[in-house]
């Protein structure tokens, strides 16, 4: 009881102790995860000039952009593209707000009128833009929302339209801003006069060059401290992002020679077939050979990774390396196995015929609901479309002069309507199979209805030419891929290497097992490509995880195999290390040291004495200008030319460090530019130069000056 009484008496003290313990626990967790103290919320992808870009909004735009880009662009490429758009938008919006410029309602109306001026859906009977039609379209979209309406046969939601208006407004604002900046740039008469003098003032000089190349590089020592000093004096040049160095061994699941031989043996057995075994008469083991089968399509489809194609082909369509061998076969003969485009193949000539190599036709396309590329407003069923095509064919058979009229009224093939439905001379196998068969296997003058994936075509064959030999081939193709045994071996090799490399030296184990180690240096946090294995964001993300230490190893699944990677080095954001900067710094430092060596050894004060002392000659350069600071025989030397223009006629310079050597210069003649009554034309040149710089460099300058906090790597949107 005495103890309980003491506890009650000190209850406030205990509460404080518990509170402090909880507080220290929270603080410890915060310091463990420093991002919680120093970084934005995980929901903020970036902050640009004080404006946040949220993760949700960013990923939504990426999703839309990915759909537009299709499968050709990687997710990282799309994200980087959206990122650049977002940065530009935020940077420019800061400027718009500062200047107070915007797009008002009447301006937006003018922009839409300009953008839609030629759209047939918003033109009246006289072919002029009708604003009422546009307003009605927008109102209808809003009423349908979130369901889409259609414009030009393409679906469009009200949200899409709002985004389109925003894009138009933004483009206009951007143009207005650039125009405002350009309007403030002029070339004054004083600047015009200076430009004239830069172009017209000329000097003739004599000079002696002591080239840096006259001193061997091997005699000039550049120390680490020299490089370090140079880095600190030129910090901007050597600023780098955080990066990682890795090395890896790739284990490919590739077919071995044994795998390839097994595939070829199976193909050879198909060519030969299999006779029945007389010792087992009750079991039918006979397998007909490829050369003897009469059902070539069934045989190919049952045994090949690529289905039978019944189209006839010319020699030019056969694989180049075996075209002669296959094309010269007689009907029923077989060639192979041969390797082609990742497959082993055997090919049989199934049939031979004479076919025109090109044809000329005209057609009318009657689509039906659900046909490929059919517009949303197509309402005819397949049966109705067939009936329409048949009725038009009946009329055309008695009166072909109506063909052009029917094309304009009924055909949905917009690409051929203006040509009366005509496709001029085109090669065999250009069109879809059913269309191709009709125009090439029929004869000139044939008129009929053909169904394809696009609908029903009324086709008239207007011409054929150059009939020549074509072959129908049946090809059994087997993909060249590793066997299960090979795949298992690759898995075992990768697993064993991963275990041993984790316990021993990565390089030593690789060398011992004759595996190739590939180093990859300077990987950035948002990179996606790993040389040798392509797009591998998982490897990059792993290398930048905070708890991954130098020396750590991990296995990654890559297409057709595995990669065992090791983190070699972590490089912090800031200045390059001496080792990394040496390639850029050493040549400059070495040049500076050579210049000092030359200066220290030279005592001559005249060109002739310097030339004699350095075993070289006095050279000349005539009509040198500041606008084109090049010396004949020495190359571009702006510092030397600038120094020459600072000398009087007959005056000799001291030693000057140039781009390619140390120089002494003497001005022999000064020719001033002709004085003009008016320098306006040169002032105009200056203005044009300024305006061109705005177009090329203004945004980049604004971006460089902007306050951009990039959290993409931290928020893991990449």
Tell me the C-alpha distance between 47 and 61, whole Å: 17
Q: Which residue has the higher pLDDT, 26 or 546?
A: 546
Position 20 scores a pLDDT of 52
- In which band, very low, low, confident or very high, does the pLDDT at 286 lie, cut at 50, 70 and 90? very low
Are residues 233 and 250 both part of a single domain? Answer: no
Tell me the C-alpha distance between 227 and 233, whole Å: 10
Asked whether the predicted pLDDT for residue 21 surpasses 60, the reply is no
Are residues 542 and 594 both part of a single domain? Answer: no
Give the chain's largest Cα–Cα span. Answer: 121
Q: Which of 144, 119, 143, 142 is nearest to 130 (CA)?
A: 119
Are residues 504 and 466 both part of a single domain? Answer: no
Asked whether the predicted pLDDT for residue 478 surpasses 90, the reply is yes
Are residues 474 and 516 both part of a single domain? Answer: no
Residue 463 neighbours by CB distance under 10 Å: 14
Are residues 29 and 175 both part of a single domain? Answer: no
Per the DSSP assignment, residues forming a β-bridge with 348 are: 334, 474
Please give the average per-residue pLDDT across 705-714, as a whole number: 84
Instruction: Answer yes or no: is 97 within a domain.
Output: no
User: Which of the residue ranges 122-136, 146-160, 544-558 has the most confident prediction, judged by mean pLDDT?
Assistant: 544-558
Please give the average per-residue pLDDT across 644-657, as a whole number: 96
Instruction: Answer yes or no: is 685 within a domain.
Output: no
Position 146 scores a pLDDT of 86
484-to-344, 395, 480, 488, 557 alpha-carbon distances in Å: 18, 63, 13, 6, 17
Instruction: Answer yes or no: is 262 within a domain.
Output: no
Position 414 scores a pLDDT of 85
Are residues 513 and 565 both part of a single domain? Answer: yes
Are residues 541 and 586 both part of a single domain? Answer: no
Burial annotation 56-83 (CB, 10 A radius, 16+ → b, else e): eebeebbeebbeeeeeeebbbebbbbbb
Q: What is the tens place of the pLDDT at every residue in 640-649? A: 999 999 999 9
Tell me the C-alpha distance between 392 and 35, whole Å: 73
- Among candidate residues 479, 506, 534, the one where a domain is terminated: 479
User: Which of the residue ranges 2-11, 345-354, 524-533, 570-579 has the most confident prediction, judged by mean pLDDT?
Assistant: 345-354
Instruction: Answer yes or no: is 712 within a domain.
Output: no
Asked whether the predicted pLDDT for residue 707 surpasses 80, the reply is yes
The values of phi and psi at residue 457, to 5°, are -105, 130
Position 205 scores a pLDDT of 96
Please give the average per-residue pLDDT across 27-40, as a whole number: 45
- Among candidate residues 537, 572, 607, the one where a domain is terminated: 572
Tell me the C-alpha distance between 494 and 496, whole Å: 6
Instruction: Answer yes or no: is 326 within a domain.
Output: yes
Instruction: Answer yes or no: is 431 within a domain.
Output: yes
What percentage of the chain exceeds 90 in pLDDT? 66
195-to-174, 200, 201 alpha-carbon distances in Å: 31, 8, 10
Asked whether the predicted pLDDT for residue 338 surpasses 80, the reply is yes
Are residues 491 and 603 both part of a single domain? Answer: no
Q: Structural domain of residue 534, as residue ranges?
A: 243-254+483-572
pTM above 0.75, yes or no: no
> Scanning the structure block, which residue is given the tokens 């697993």?
495
Are residues 514 and 457 both part of a single domain? Answer: no
User: Which of the residue ranges 50-54, 90-94, 488-492 has the most confident prediction, judged by mean pLDDT?
Assistant: 488-492
- Among candidate residues 479, 502, 528, the one where a domain is terminated: 479
Please give the average per-residue pLDDT across 580-608, as a whole number: 95
Asked whether the predicted pLDDT for residue 288 surpasses 90, the reply is no
- Number of domains the chain contains: 5
User: Which helix H or strand E contains 184, and what residues bound it?
Assistant: none
Asked whether the predicted pLDDT for residue 320 surpasses 60, the reply is yes
CA angle at 646 for the pair 641 and 648, rounded to the nearest 5°: 115
Q: What is the tens place of the pLDDT at every residue in 504-562? A: 999 999 999 999 999 999 999 888 889 999 889 899 999 999 899 999 999 999 999 99
Asked whether the predicted pLDDT for residue 179 surpasses 60, the reply is yes
- In which band, very low, low, confident or very high, does the pLDDT at 444 lie, cut at 50, 70 and 90? very high
- In which band, very low, low, confident or very high, does the pLDDT at 285 lie, cut at 50, 70 and 90? very low
Position 272 scores a pLDDT of 86
- Structure-derived torsion over alpha carbons of residues 684, 687, 691, 697, reported in degrees to the nearest 10: 140
- In which band, very low, low, confident or very high, does the pLDDT at 277 lie, cut at 50, 70 and 90? very low
User: At 429, which CATH number?
Assistant: 3.10.50.40
Position 23 scores a pLDDT of 47
Q: What is the mean pLDDT of the chain?
A: 88
Are residues 565 and 603 both part of a single domain? Answer: no
Position 2 scores a pLDDT of 44
Instruction: Answer yes or no: is 698 within a domain.
Output: no
- In which band, very low, low, confident or very high, does the pLDDT at 4 lie, cut at 50, 70 and 90? very low
What percentage of the chain exceeds 70 in pLDDT? 92
Q: What is the tens place of the pLDDT at every residue in 351-396? A: 999 999 999 999 999 999 989 988 888 889 999 999 999 999 999 9
The values of phi and psi at residue 361, to 5°, are -140, 165
At 5, list the tokens.
């009484």
Among 64-73, 87-96, 156-165, 689-698, name the one with the lowest average pLDDT: 64-73
Position 717 scores a pLDDT of 59
Are residues 357 and 440 both part of a single domain? Answer: yes
Please give the average per-residue pLDDT across 38-66, as a whole number: 81
3-state secondary structure 117-171: CCCHHHECCCCCECHHHHHHHHHHHHHHCCCCEEECCEEECHHHHHHHHHHHHHH
At 518, list the tokens.
């590939």
Instruction: Answer yes or no: is 291 within a domain.
Output: no
Q: What is the tens place of the pLDDT at every residue in 230-247? A: 999 999 999 988 999 999
Are residues 319 and 392 both part of a single domain? Answer: yes
Tell me the C-alpha distance between 130 and 256, whole Å: 69
Q: What is the tens place of the pLDDT at every residue in 186-225? A: 999 999 999 999 999 999 999 999 999 999 999 999 999 9
User: Which helix H or strand E contains 25, and what residues bound it?
Assistant: helix 11-32
Position 582 scores a pLDDT of 94
Tell me the C-alpha distance between 193 and 675, whole Å: 9
Count of alpha carbons within 13 angstroms of residue 542, beta-carbon side: 19
């Amino acid at each position: 009881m005495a103890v309980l009484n003491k506890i009650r008496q000190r209850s406030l003290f205990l509460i404080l102790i518990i509170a402090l313990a909880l507080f220290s626990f929270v603080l410890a967790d915060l310091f463990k995860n420093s991002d919680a103290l120093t970084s934005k919320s995980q929901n903020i992808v970036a902050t640009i000039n004080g404006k946040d870009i949220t993760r949700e909004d960013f990923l939504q735009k990426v999703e839309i952009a990915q759909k537009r880009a299709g499968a050709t662009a990687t997710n990282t490429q799309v994200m980087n593209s959206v990122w650049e758009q977002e940065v530009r938008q935020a940077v420019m919006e800061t400027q718009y707000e500062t200047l107070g410029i915007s797009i008002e309602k009447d301006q937006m109306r003018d922009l839409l009128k300009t953008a839609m001026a030629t759209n047939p859906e918003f033109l009246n009977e006289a072919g002029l833009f009708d604003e009422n039609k546009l307003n009605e379209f927008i109102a209808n979209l809003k009423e349908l929302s979130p369901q889409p309406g259609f414009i030009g046969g393409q679906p469009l939601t009200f949200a899409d339209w709002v985004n389109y208006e925003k894009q138009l407004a933004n483009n206009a604002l951007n143009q207005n801003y650039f125009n405002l900046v350009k309007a403030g740039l002029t070339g004054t008469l004083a600047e015009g006069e200076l430009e004239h003098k830069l172009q017209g003032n000329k000097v003739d000089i004599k000079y002696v060059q002591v080239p840096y190349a006259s001193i061997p590089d091997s005699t000039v020592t550049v120390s680490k401290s020299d490089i370090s000093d140079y880095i600190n004096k030129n910090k901007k040049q050597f600023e780098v992002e955080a990066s990682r160095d890795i090395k890896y061994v790739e284990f490919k699941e590739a077919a071995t020679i044994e795998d390839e031989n097994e595939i070829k043996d199976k193909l050879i057995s198909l060519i030969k077939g299999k006779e029945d075994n007389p010792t087992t008469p009750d079991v039918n083991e006979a397998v007909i050979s490829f050369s003897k089968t009469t059902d070539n399509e069934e045989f190919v489809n049952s045994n090949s990774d690529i289905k039978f194609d019944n189209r006839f082909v010319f020699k030019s369509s056969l694989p180049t390396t075996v075209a002669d061998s296959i094309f010269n076969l007689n009907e029923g003969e077989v060639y192979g196995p041969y390797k082609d485009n990742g497959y082993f193949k055997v090919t049989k000539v199934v049939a031979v015929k004479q076919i025109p190599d090109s044809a000329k036709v005209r057609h009318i396309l009657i689509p039906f609901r659900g046909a490929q590329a059919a517009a949303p407003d197509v309402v005819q069923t397949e049966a109705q479309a067939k009936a329409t095509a048949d009725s038009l064919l009946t009329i055309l058979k008695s009166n072909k002069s109506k063909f052009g009229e029917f094309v304009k009224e009924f055909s949905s093939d917009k690409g051929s309507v203006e040509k009366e439905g005509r496709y001029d001379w085109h090669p065999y196998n250009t069109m879809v199979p059913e269309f191709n068969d009709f125009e090439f296997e029929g004869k000139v003058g044939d008129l009929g209805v053909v169904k394809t994936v696009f609908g029903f075509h009324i086709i008239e064959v207007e011409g054929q030419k150059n009939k020549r030999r074509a072959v129908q081939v049946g090809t059994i193709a087997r993909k060249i891929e590793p066997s299960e045994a090979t795949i298992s071996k690759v898995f075992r090799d990768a697993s064993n290497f991963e275990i041993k490399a984790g316990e021993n030296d990565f390089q030593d184990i690789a060398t011992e097992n004759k595996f190739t180690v590939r180093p990859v240096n300077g990987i950035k946090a948002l990179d996606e490509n790993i040389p040798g294995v392509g797009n591998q964001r998982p490897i990059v993300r792993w290398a930048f995880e905070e708890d991954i230490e130098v020396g750590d190893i991990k296995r990654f699944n890559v297409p057709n195999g595995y990669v065992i990677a090791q983190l070699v080095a972590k490089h912090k954001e800031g200045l390059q290390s001496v080792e990394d900067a040496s390639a850029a710094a050493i040549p400059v430092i070495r040049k500076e040291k050579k210049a000092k060596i030359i200066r220290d050894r030279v005592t001559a004060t005249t060109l002739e004495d310097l030339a004699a002392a350095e075993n070289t000659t006095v050279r000349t350069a005539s009509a040198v200008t500041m606008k084109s600071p090049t010396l004949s025989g020495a190359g571009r030397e702006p510092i030397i030319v600038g120094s020459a223009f600072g000398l009087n006629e007959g005056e000799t310079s001291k030693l000057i460090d140039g781009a390619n050597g140390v120089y002494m210069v003497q001005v022999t003649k000064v020719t001033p530019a002709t004085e003009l009554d008016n320098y306006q034309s040169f002032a105009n040149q200056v203005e044009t130069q300024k305006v061109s710089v705005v177009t090329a460099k203004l945004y980049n300058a604004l971006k460089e000056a902007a306050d951009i906090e990039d959290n993409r790597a931290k928020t893991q949107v990449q």
